[in-house]
Amino acid sequence: MTDKYAVIGNPIGHTKSPLIHGLFAKETKQDMNYTAIEGPLEPENAFEDTVRAFAAGGGKGINITAPFKLKAFAMADERSERATLAGAANALKFANGRTFAENFDGIGLLRDIEVNIGLPLQGKRVLVLGAGGAVRGALLPFLAAQPAELVIVNRNLCKAQDLVSEVGSKGPLRALGYGELEPMGQFDLVVNATSASLTGDLPPVPPSVFSPEGTAYELAYGKKLTPFLRLARNAGVQGIADGVGMLVEQAAEAFEWWRGVRPQTRAIIDQLTVPFD
């Protein structure tokens, strides 16, 4: 019987996940079908009911997008360590009557940076802008890559400090405010994980953080040259990237978790890439 998968979010019209997983399934010859579900925002338990109905109807797994990642995490019976630190799930698996929660956003981002872009983070100086859900999901995979330094900067400094103290002594991690960045010198990688690009805004990051030989990474995708990427380009940064590779890589992680087979990602990333100019 064909196995059922889906992505659930609200709104969901923009999702690329059915396309990506459809191509993965074709390439790896998996008998599965993957749809998009617009999840109900109200009443409070309607999201969970929808997901449980999907599982009861033969669903084997589901991807979660905004605004349901916290609810998906909360409804699981078992949670991975990175999902637990994020407090959020972007994928669920249903097996033996139990619900398992994972968060592949951070590992997808890391794979895109290290494998696709070709920037191993070991010994590198890394700056992450933002301290929201996206950063929570990325912290453990980033630290596992053993950077020399991992600096989290946020307008609301307490939020960044809380995050750092939650992770504790796991690595060379520190929280700063934007005003403290100037004396920090250049970073090999600067990741914009704020939601500023969604509104066309620029986080107050000084151009001095960019290294011309370094990489600037925008988590949002398909938005061409965002103010952040433009700032990096004007600062002479050679390597600029958006989050399309992360999108495909987190999908590949979920696919492997569900199906036990790892799909190729390069051709799909190329297909979905929107040129900057």
Q: Give residues with Cβ within 8 angstroms of 140, minimum separation 6.
A: 81, 82, 85, 106, 167, 170
Known binding residue 177? Answer is no
Known binding residue 250? Answer is yes
Known binding residue 219? Answer is yes
Residues in region 173-202 near ligand ATR by CB under 6 A: 194-196, 201
Known binding residue 243? Answer is yes
223 is a contact residue toward ligand ATR (CB under 6 A)? no
If the CB atoms of residues 194 and 250 are measured against ligand ATR, the closer one turns out to be 194
Quick one: how far is CA 21 from the chain centroid? 17
Among 18, 87, 132, 227, binds ligand ATR (CB under 6 A): 132
CA-CA distance, 243 to 193, in Å (whole number)?
Answer: 10
CA-CA distance, 141 to 106, in Å (whole number)?
Answer: 6
CA-CA distance, 201 to 218, in Å (whole number)?
Answer: 13
Torsion 178-241-253-31 (CA) sign: positive
Tokens read off for 128: 């992450």
If the CB atoms of residues 15 and 154 are measured against ligand ATR, the closer one turns out to be 154
By CB under 6 A, the count of residues binding ligand ATR is 14
CA-CA distance, 277 to 89, in Å (whole number)?
Answer: 34
Tokens read off for 212: 């011309």
Residue-by-residue DSSP string for 171-239: SSEEEE-GGG-GGG--EEEEEE-SSGGGGT------GGGEEEEEEEEESS-S--S-HHHHHHHHTT-SE
Residues in region 139-178 near ligand ATR by CB under 6 A: 154-156, 159
Check if 4 is active-site: no
CA-CA distance, 146 to 127, in Å (whole number)?
Answer: 14
Cβ 107 to ligand ATR, closest distance in Å?
A: 16
If the CB atoms of residues 133 and 245 are measured against ligand ATR, the closer one turns out to be 133
130 is a contact residue toward ligand ATR (CB under 6 A)? yes
227 is a contact residue toward ligand ATR (CB under 6 A)? no
Known binding residue 134? Answer is yes
Feature table: binding site for shikimate? 15-17, 65, 90, 105, 221, 250
Residues with catalytic function: 69
Feature table: binding site for NADP(+)? 81, 130-134, 219, 243
Feature table: binding site? 15-17, 65, 81, 90, 105, 130-134, 219, 221, 243, 250
What does the binding site for ligand ATR look like in residue numbers (CB under 6 A)? 130-134, 154-156, 159, 194-196, 201, 203
